[in-house]
C-alpha cells in the first residue's frame, strides 16, 4: 500500500513528488506518457509569470505569486538555469494603455511589483520595440526557464530520494475505499492512503 499516489509527471506532479521525497513516505508517481513533462508542461511558453494578471483573491493569483518567488531557490538547488529577465506588456494605443492601468491595479492587489513606462523609457529598455507602442507594463519578477530541464531535474531529485515513477501507465479509475483509495491503471491497480491529481 502506498502513502501517496501522484497522477501526472509534469512540473506540478514532479514538484510535489520532490517535496514529498523529503519525508518518509511510500510515494508513487503515475504518468501516462513515455517521459516526464510530455504533456502541458512541455508545451508551455517557458515563462515564469510574475502574477499580475490573475484575478485578485483567487487561488491562481495566490499560487502564481508564491510560485514565482520560489524559483530562485529551486533553480539553484537543482542546478537549472533560470533568468529573471522581466516582461513588458505593450499598449499600442490609448485604449490599450487604459487596460495597462487596470492590470497595474490588479498587480497592486496581487502584491506584484510593476510599473507603467512611457514610450521614451520603453525605447531605452527595449530598443527594438515596435514604433506603434505608446506605453508598457514592466514586471521585473517575470522569468524564463527551460521546462523540459526543470521537470527532469525535479523528478530525478525525487527519484534519488526514494520516489517511484511509472511511465506509460494511464490512470483509468479511482475508487474510494473504507480506508484510502484504489487506483486502477492501464496495467494494474494500487491501493493508497492519498491521491494527488496533477494530471494536465
pLDDT the model gives residue 44: 86
Cell 503515475 identifies what position?
30
Residue 118: phi and psi, rounded to 5, are -80, 170
Crossing angle, helix 11-20 and helix 147-160, to 10 degrees? 30
CA distances from 65 to 55, 70, 92 (A): 12, 9, 27
Instruction: Check if the beta carbon of residue 180 is closer than 8 Å to that of residue 193.
Output: yes
pLDDT the model gives residue 60: 96
CA distances from 88 to 34, 80, 118 (A): 36, 24, 11
pTM: 0.90
Check whether 175 has a pLDDT greater than 90. yes
The residue annotated as part of the active site, out of 5, 21, 29, 49, is: 49
| Interval 42-72: pLDDT, tens | 888 899 999 999 999 999 999 999 999 999 9
Give SS3 for 126.
coil
pLDDT the model gives residue 170: 97
Kindly indicate the confidence band of residue 169, based on its pLDDT and cuts at 50, 70 and 90.
very high
pLDDT the model gives residue 40: 86
pLDDT the model gives residue 118: 95
Picking from 81, 137, 80, 76, the residue whose alpha carbon sits closest to that of residue 104 is: 137
Based on the residue annotation, tell me whether 110 is a catalytic residue of this protein: no
DSSP 134: -
Strand order in the sheet with 181-185: 164-166, 27-30, 2-7, 189-197, 181-185, 171-176
Amino acid at each position: 500500500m502506498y502513502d501517496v499516489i501522484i497522477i501526472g509527471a509534469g512540473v506540478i506532479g514532479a514538484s510535489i513528488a520532490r517535496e514529498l521525497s523529503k519525508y518518509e513516505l511510500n510515494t508513487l508517481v503515475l504518468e501516462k506518457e513515455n517521459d516526464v513533462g510530455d504533456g502541458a508542461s512541455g508545451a508551455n511558453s517557458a515563462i515564469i509569470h510574475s502574477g499580475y494578471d490573475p484575478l485578485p483573491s483567487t487561488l491562481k493569483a495566490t499560487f502564481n505569486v508564491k510560485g514565482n518567488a520560489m524559483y530562485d531557490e529551486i533553480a539553484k538547488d537543482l542546478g537549472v538555469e533560470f533568468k529573471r529577465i522581466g516582461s513588458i506588456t505593450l499598449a499600442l494605443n490609448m485604449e490599450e494603455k487604459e487596460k495597462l492601468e487596470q492590470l497595474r491595479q490588479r498587480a497592486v492587489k496581487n502584491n506584484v511589483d510593476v510599473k507603467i513606462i512611457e514610450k521614451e523609457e520603453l525605447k531605452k529598455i527595449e530598443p527594438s520595440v515596435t514604433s506603434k507602442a505608446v506605453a508598457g507594463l514592466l514586471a521585473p519578477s517575470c522569468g524564463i526557464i527551460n521546462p523540459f530541464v526543470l521537470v527532469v531535474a525535479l523528478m530525478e531529485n525525487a527519484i534519488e530520494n526514494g520516489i517511484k515513477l511509472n511511465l506509460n501507465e494511464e490512470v483509468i479509475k479511482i475508487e474510494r475505499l473504507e480506508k484510502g483509495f484504489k487506483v486502477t491503471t492501464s496495467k494494474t491497480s494500487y491501493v493508497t492512503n492519498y491521491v494527488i491529481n496533477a494530471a494536465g
